[in-house]
Amino acid sequence: MLLLLLLLLLLLLLLLLLLLLLLLLLLLLLLLLLLLLLLLLLLLLLLLLLLLLLLLLLLLLLLLLLLLLLLLLLLLLLHVLLLLLLLLLLLLLLLHHHHHHHHHLFYHVYYYYFYYSCHYYYYFYYYYYYYYYYYYYYYYYYYYYYYYFYYYYYYYYYFFYYYYYYYYYYYYYYFYYYFYYFYYYYYTTTTTTTVHSDKKRIHTMTATSTYSPYRGACMFYKQPLFFFCFFLRSSHK
């Protein structure tokens, strides 16, 4: 009997030990779970911090882009203003060079209508066509210079150096053109002896008159197709 009791007690003790071991295992598992949860929380916090940093970087990039856009807009406005100023100066230069020629041309047309009525229609249509042709290419020339100033404004420093060089050459060409033009007119008026006498008198008066259209035609030296106009004028004679 005593042996049985002892055995029972041993069994009970073993059971108790097993239970204690199980409890310890459970506690360890719980601790592991808690540690895992803590790690997850830390990871989440790190992710949140990274997201916040990314958001801050995006905000900074947006601010930089806005600043760049503002700078570009300001530069564009400055370019437009400078371009308008250049165009205004060019227009004033053109008006200054060509203003006095218009009155001379119309005066010449009406003057020769009353003085040489037999040749009025030939000279009227000739100079009316020439006058209209000039205005067509005047607007083309103005548009070309608008494109020229806009295109070369990107190369700002090079453009101004080239512009001054071109301007010097342009005035040199202007002087050369006057010399060549008067030489050409002198040659034609002194060698055309077979033309009609009335027509030759008109040519002679246009060479010596104060309101000569040949002097007024000197405004064509700036046109892109000047030599083509010059050839047309020579073919009419």
Distance CA 163, CA 156 (A): 10
- The closest alpha carbon to 166, from 139, 145, 136, 140, belongs to 145
The vertex-202 CA angle with 196 and 208, nearest 5°, equals 135
- The closest alpha carbon to 230, from 194, 191, 177, belongs to 177
The vertex-25 CA angle with 19 and 29, nearest 5°, equals 145
State mean pLDDT over 143-164. 37
Q: Answer yes or no: is pLDDT of 54 > 60.
A: yes
CA 50 → CA 21, 47, 56, 233, distances in Å?
43, 5, 10, 80
Domain boundaries, the chain: 107-236
Top pLDDT among 91 and 181 is at 91
pLDDT at 94: 75
The tens digit of pLDDT for each residue in 167-185 reads: 333 333 333 333 434 433 3
